[in-house]
Structure 1
Amino acid sequence: MVVGRIGSHQDVLARLASLRQNQYRGRRAPHKPLLVLLALGRLANRASSELPWSEAEAQLSDLIAEFGPASKTGRAQSAAYPFTRLRSDGVWTLSRDVPMDKVSPLAAHDVVGRLEASLEVALRRDPRLLRSAARALVDSHFPPTVAPDVLAAVGLDPDDILRATDPAATALRHRDPAWRTAILQAWDRQCAFCGYDGQLGGASVGVDAAHVRWFAFDGPDSLDNGLALCVLHHKLFDLGVLGLDTSLRIHVSNAFTARTNAGRALYDLHGRTLEPRPGTAVPATEHVAWHRREVFKGAPLAA
């Protein structure tokens, strides 16, 4: 793929936005965006995006395991895929020409990757552009519950990045401001998983409206794509610790572990069936299937 130099502010954001085109029919593909975010973190903190494979193998593997969909490939292989293939998007270069997806040549030569030269110059010259680029990437690939954790994990300040409001980085879709209220009301203003229903001065506190299929992945603001969840279970749902089956039974991932009584209480949710009030629209099968395929980590606990 032949690409030109990256010059303007719009060029930078457009080139990074094109990473979204690697998704197909709602499939999550956060591997390349996570690598770019890791490079942005290094650029912000070290004034260089250089990333040797000897460091990328562990760091990128950890990011993909925590924030990506469940994978059947090994950790090193999962990291090698974006490390070698991001070259074809015109935003990444390697110090040595190596085959796509192969781990052994990367390790043998400790290949170094970095952002394409003109892109790096533009980002280093304008810190606001770097913030806008990072904001656009997390908004496009992760829900608001997870975005701060992703940014912190790559070495960027979540508060600083999430204040970025560059119009060029704004999503084309806009959320329905009435959706949250409608979801909370439909579920009696309590967590659909644990029943928590705290209020402060008559207003619900610590209860969110959660998308089953993420808004960033074309999830609609509809009653059959939402659950009222306490903030803890919302985050665990978006991280893939919690999920649903098509019978609307709650599943806990067998990748989750806990030692304390408070943490182990999550196991008690496994197998519990949602109990909406009469007339409440339950999550649609296609949205549940998307979450199970793209978000839920691994297999559920044994019955």
Structure 2
Amino acid sequence: MSPDRSEVLARLTSLRLHQRDGRRSPHKPLLVLLALARLADTGSSELPWSAAESRLSELIAEFGPAARTGRAQSAAYPFTRLRSDGVWTLSRDVPMDLVGPLAASGVVGRFAGPVEAALRRDSGLLRAVARALVEIHFPATIAPDVLTAVGLDAEDILRAPTTPPAGGRRRDAGWRFAVLTAWDRQCAFWGYDGQLLGAAVGVEAAHVRWWAFDGPDSLDNGLALCVLHHKLFDFGALGLDAEMRVEVSAAFTARTPAGRTVYDLHGRALRPRPGTPIPAAEHVAWHRREVFKGEPLAA
């Protein structure tokens, strides 16, 4: 019996991941998104390992936590292990996690037949799965970048109806306003405080520990950041050290004078107004471990 729409959506958005203690593991979601893009573009989700090895490893490096294994190894994990979720098949039976057999056998992966058939019949289901995956695993600042990088139309996907997880936490509708007020409606990293007709413009409330990974809507998990620094913070180009000083990742590079101003943030201390709580140490440690890319610039 073929799975219905709700079953396919649930299976593709409830993947078994290694996320204990708040650890990020976006490897399988990125593989599913990449296969969705191929299906939308070609009518088939077929993904040869020869293509996945480079493309998937690039996605994991860009949108995952700092690398703990080699690039090919990082891609081999989801490419072989997604089979255990019952939504993915390989053209040859190869051992889990091993790069050698994947390359030697010319292995091709694709969605399991019933799953692919359901996605092919219902383009709305494909969009709903893609939107749910980016909303579950990434903050809104970089969700469009993820979709574009895998080859999907970000604007089209993010217009798809949202499907909130059953029993999920409810966001605090007043958190954004509270964070901006606590930081005097200015960027905590460099003080930008532009306003238009009396309202802050280009300044946003940023979670230190992402909402999707149990980050609370509390003042000690929030920073007011300008749009640019919010995005750089969520990408891992910027972070904080234990003394609440801004860190710039050594992996970040810039050539123009405008881009190189980001380097000037390195070592700058947060200066909240009296009474504003600084980010809690456990949230900063989570960001440093799960988001910040590599090592900071030398002092």
| TM-score of the pair, normalised by structure 2 | 0.97
Alignment correspondent of 1:144: 140
Q: Does 2:87 match 1:91? A: yes
Structure 2 counterpart SS, 1:96? coil
**Alignment counterpart, residue 251 of structure 2, candidates 255, 262, 276:** 255
State whether residues 131 and 158 of structure 2, in contact with CA within 8 Å, keep that contact through their aligned partners in structure 1.
Answer: yes
Q: C-alpha separation between the residues in 2 aligned to 1:164 and 1:298?
A: 35
State whether residues 132 and 166 of structure 1, in contact with CA within 8 Å, keep that contact through their aligned partners in structure 2.
Answer: yes
State whether residues 242 and 251 of structure 1, in contact with CA within 8 Å, keep that contact through their aligned partners in structure 2.
Answer: yes
Q: Does 2:119 match 1:123? A: yes
Over the residues paired in the alignment, what is the CA RMSD in angstroms? 1.3
- CA offsets, 1:120-142, max 9 Å, x none? 10011001111110111111100
- 5+ residue gaps in structure 1? none
State whether residues 17 and 25 of structure 2, in contact with CA within 8 Å, keep that contact through their aligned partners in structure 1.
Answer: no
Q: Does 2:67 match 1:71? A: yes
Q: Output aligned runs, 1:1-303, within 5 Å.
A: 7-19=3-15, 21-167=17-163, 172-303=168-299
Q: 1:202 to 1:55 in 2, by over 3 A?
A: same
Q: 1:252 to 1:128 in 2, by over 3 A?
A: same
Structure 1 counterpart SS, 2:75? helix
User: How far off is 1:172 after superposition?
Assistant: 2.3
- CA offsets, 1:27-80, max 9 Å, x none? 101000000000001111111000001110110011000000001211111111
Q: C-alpha separation between the residues in 2 aligned to 1:167 and 1:221?
A: 21
Q: C-alpha separation between the residues in 2 aligned to 1:88 and 1:265?
A: 46
User: How far off is 1:18 after superposition?
Assistant: 2.0
Q: C-alpha separation between the residues in 2 aligned to 1:93 and 1:6?
A: 16
State whether residues 133 and 169 of structure 1, in contact with CA within 8 Å, keep that contact through their aligned partners in structure 2.
Answer: no
Q: 1:290 to 1:168 in 2, by over 3 A?
A: closer
Q: 1:6 to 1:150 in 2, by over 3 A?
A: farther
Q: 1:238 to 1:152 in 2, by over 3 A?
A: same
Q: C-alpha separation between the residues in 2 aligned to 1:214 and 1:171?
A: 18
State whether residues 17 and 136 of structure 1, in contact with CA within 8 Å, keep that contact through their aligned partners in structure 2.
Answer: yes
Structure 1 counterpart SS, 2:89? strand
User: How far off is 1:107 after superposition?
Assistant: 1.0
Amino acid at match of 1:150: V
Structure 2 counterpart SS, 1:279? coil
Amino acid at match of 1:42: R
Q: C-alpha separation between the residues in 2 aligned to 1:246 and 1:275?
A: 14
User: How far off is 1:110 after superposition?
Assistant: 1.6
State whether residues 16 and 85 of structure 2, in contact with CA within 8 Å, keep that contact through their aligned partners in structure 1.
Answer: no
- CA offsets, 1:200-238, max 9 Å, x none? 000000000000000111111110000000000000000
- 5+ residue gaps in structure 2? none
Amino acid at match of 1:50: E
User: How far off is 1:21 after superposition?
Assistant: 4.7
State whether residues 252 and 300 of structure 1, in contact with CA within 8 Å, keep that contact through their aligned partners in structure 2.
Answer: yes
Q: C-alpha separation between the residues in 1 aligned to 2:59 and 2:2?
A: 27
Structure 2 counterpart SS, 1:101? coil
State whether residues 131 and 162 of structure 2, in contact with CA within 8 Å, keep that contact through their aligned partners in structure 1.
Answer: no
Amino acid at match of 2:38: R
Amino acid at match of 1:93: T
